[in-house]
Amino acid sequence: MASVKVSRAGPLIVAGRYSKWSRVLPQTPWFIDGERKLDSSVEELISARITPVFGSSTTFTFVSSGREDIDVRCLGLGRPFALELSDYNRTLSSMLRSQVDQCGDRVTDGNVISDRANDLSWLADIVVSAASSKASLKDGDVEKRKRYRALCWCPQGGLTPEKIRLLDTRLRELAKQSTNSEGSQSNLQWPPREATFEADLGAEVAYLTFGRFTIEQLTPIRVLHRRALIARKRDIIWFRLSDFTSNVLRKDAPFVLREFASQASVYPKEELFLLELCCEAGTYVKELVHGDLGRTQPSLSSLIDCPLDLIALDVIAVEQDWPPRIENTLVKIEI
């Protein structure tokens, strides 16, 4: 008798959020001139965890709400992603029954599909839904904001009160040209002294905060080989500056900042500072800092008349409501 292969006709979406703690892990497989450069990727780590439980014949397409560079960590709640599955031949109910048979009554939906992928990537807020829900991921790309934290270097003696005052003056000049300005910080002490508790760091941090302004970015030189040469206007909603030594080198430094401490052996510690910002999706943050040879205007470097460079960058929030946050569980079934 001929064999019969049974699969599902309609595609299925497995969506969630991933966090990436490695600075040597691309989001998708990385090839240059047909040669693979690194052994793994976020896409492969996630799909290796999820697709096998739907059957060996399962195929997938990976999409995400934006992407981070290889050397950028993705922290906080993580970046929304979706796997569109096809040719799967197992249902979630059958997988759950199998897990109960193997592990006993204490098994939960979370054991079926979501877990720690490895030391490099974590999964959360796993949702299984119809293929039409993928539109929610793309709809959010247009209006979403992102928050970043960066370790930066000011090689000409570091930030000073004079440079901070110049920055403030020029931002005020930009504000006169825009109806979107939220004003500038009135207390311009550097290093800043008035600390506030930051929930994502679990610690008090002293910042200088500055309001909204708009930049124009030509396609950066580093991606010009694969992106069209166009000019993009992007809004910087707010940004704030904090001192490196008092935040990173202190004994009780927040966990996510401790990695930066090693840079004090490479750069003079008084020339390092922390930048945190909230900006429109599609902003090239590295170029916002150093200016990309004048291709980003204004840049932080041009605003203080001093060379700047970005040493390390973290995504700390992708402000998108889909998939929905799930409390006290890793999986929610929506079929």
Structure tokens at 98: 């199998």
String of b and e for 34-61 (b: at least 16 CB within 10 Å)? eeeeeebbbbbbbbebbbebbbeebebe
Is the sign of the CA dihedral 310, 314, 318, 319 positive or negative? negative
Respond yes or no on whether the N-terminal peptide bond of residue 298 is cis (omega within 30° of 0).
Answer: yes
Q: Which of 226, 218, 230, 332 is nearest to 284 (CA)?
A: 218
Residue 32 DSSP one-character state = E
Q: Token match 């030189």: residue? A: 221
SS3 89: coil
Which one from 69, 87, 141, 309 is the annotated catalytic residue?
Answer: 69
Q: Is 282 exposed, middle or buried (0-12, 13-18, 19+ CB in 10 A)?
A: middle
Q: Which DSSP helix (H) or strand (E) runs through 163?
A: helix 161-176
Task: Find tokens 């708009």 and name the residue.
Answer: 214
Residue 152: beta bridge partners? 273, 310
Instruction: Please state the φ and ψ torsions of residue 45, each to the nearest 5 degrees.
Output: -65, -40
Q: Is 115 noted as a catalytic residue in this protein?
A: no
Which residues have a catalytic role annotated? Answer: 69
